[in-house]
Amino acid sequence: MTRYVRRFSKTERILHWANALGFLTLLGSGLVLYLPSLSVLVSRRPLMKDIHFWSGIGWVSLLAIIVVLGDRRGLLRLARELDAFDGDDLRWLRGGHAKQGRFNAGQKINATLTAAFTVLFLVSGMLLWLGERDTRFRFASTVVLHDGLMFAALALLVGHLYLALIHPATRHALRGMTLGTVSEDWAARHHAKWKPQ
């Protein structure tokens, strides 16, 4: 009989899915603005700009609400786990066999980049929006930064989806993000340093 251990709390799962929903909404509306063929197809550019901007504000606001109203103690513990980088993480990144905690080194890097991209998307998006209303906020590199972030975030998303949905060794982790639990055997194989509570 398979035994399961809790890997993600309810707050962690809600934060993950709220981030995913917000990002995918912004990706879709942003691609309509970015790709001429989609822009012509939709043909309501001002409306799409408003949807994109307010979706971004809603995305960041929702994440902030979850942090404030959710399990803050658990989220602080999560932040400490993601921030802890040790010799085993470096060995793992070099392709060596190294025991990992609740998060492997790749997941830690992905979480850090995702958080950084969120802040940079917010700042560059606000500057673009304000720059259309006041030339003092126009900077030549803002569009380049915002677009570059989109390509980098899209690459991370593709890798994340591949590991979560397709790769046989890691797709069991999706259960953790949907139901909160993973099998005890899988956890022992992939996250041997993690001691589930």
Where are the extended beta strands (E) located within 74-185? 181-183
Residue 91 lies in a domain: no
pLDDT digits (tens, 9 = 90+) for 142-196: 999 999 999 999 999 999 999 999 999 999 999 999 999 999 999 999 999 999 8
Query: Which of 183, 194, 196, 197 shows the shortest CA–CA distance to 4?
Result: 183
Per-residue pLDDT of 30-75, as tens digits, reads 989 888 888 777 778 888 899 999 999 999 999 999 999 999 999 9
Question: Does residue 143 contact residue 122 with C-beta atoms inside 8 Å?
Answer: no
Number of domains making up the chain: 1
Q: Is residue 61 part of a domain?
A: yes
Q: How far apart are CA 29 and CA 148, in angstroms?
A: 16
Radius of gyration of the chain (CA): 19
Give the three-class secondary structure for 95.
Answer: coil
The whole model's pTM is what? 0.91
Range of the domain at 156: 8-83+100-188
